[in-house]
Amino acid sequence: MKQITFLITLLALFSSSIKAQPLGVEPFADAIPYRKNISSNLFLSNHDASAVKMFFTSPEKTQPQMIMQVDEGYYHGYRLCYNSNDCSNSETSLQWIQVLTINTEECIKFLEKNNPDILMVPFWGISSMVGKKGHTKSDFKKVCDYYRHLPCRLYQQTTNSSGDEISALSQIMLDYKTKIGLQTEQLLASEGTGLVIKPKSNDEDYWDLWMQCLDEVDDMGYITLIEYSENPNK
């Protein structure tokens, strides 16, 4: 699942090492940490950049001295500068908040041109059901079209059982792979007076389970990255 980190790697190109948090500015209301259980200056939200900017510029908030328009690839939004009329450079004393929202259509076009394999990552499970139990290529295409935004979402990073950092998308996909694998491998069946383990048929229909998986992935996706010049929870 290394391809999943591609979107976040792009974001790293837009960030700087500036350290200083605007006084009186709290985290955006519904944002969640980009890294679960790890202190960070990155947060995720499903409000777009304009809505987040309105939150930070409401009358009761500390007002930025300048708001810069930011357009980086298919990410669009703002940088709010709190103690300078220009926070586009790397001075360590600058204080800012940057808000970037993914334009889904631009993202899809970019990936189609530059890395189309990423577009298919969320669908590798359900693709295995094509040709089984009446599920056709047409059915598969409809699913891909409906959920085509999934590769153009941001997913919270968490730590798996091995201590490695993994995205929510990757973890959900692996969880369902394990669940379906266990269902495929064995079945308790009665034989005579007892129970025995018998192999399950390879023709089992797991279409609905994989659809459930895609629904869970959809629920875990975010469109906006909020970056503070320093962790606002310190």
pLDDT 10s digit of each residue in the chain, 234 long?
444 444 444 444 344 333 444 544 556 777 899 998 777 889 999 999 999 999 999 888 888 999 999 999 999 999 999 887 777 765 666 889 999 999 999 999 999 999 999 999 999 999 999 999 999 999 999 999 999 999 999 999 988 878 889 999 999 999 999 998 877 665 555 455 555 555 555 568 999 999 999 999 999 999 999 999 877 666
Amino acid of residue 42? L
For the chain, strand residue ranges (E) read 32-33, 42-45, 66-72, 75-81, 96-102, 154-155, 157-159, 165-167, 187-191, 194-198, 221-222, 224-228
For residue 226, the model assigns a pLDDT of: 94
Question: Which of 45, 52, 49 lies closest to 30, judged by CA?
Answer: 45
Beta strands 75-81; 66-72: pairing state: antiparallel
Amino acid of residue 217? V
Amino acid of residue 57? T
Dist. CA 101–CA 48, nearest whole Å: 6
For residue 21, the model assigns a pLDDT of: 47
For residue 76, the model assigns a pLDDT of: 98
CB 169 within 8 A of CB 122: yes
Kindly report the pTM of this predicted structure.
0.80
**Residue 188 is encoded by which pair of tokens?**
């308790």
Beta strands 75-81; 96-102: pairing state: antiparallel
Dist. CA 225–CA 46, nearest whole Å: 9
For residue 4, the model assigns a pLDDT of: 43
Dist. CA 104–CA 89, nearest whole Å: 29
Helix 207-219 / helix 168-185 crossing angle, nearest 10 deg: 160
For residue 202, the model assigns a pLDDT of: 56
CB 181 within 8 A of CB 188: no
CB 180 within 8 A of CB 14: no
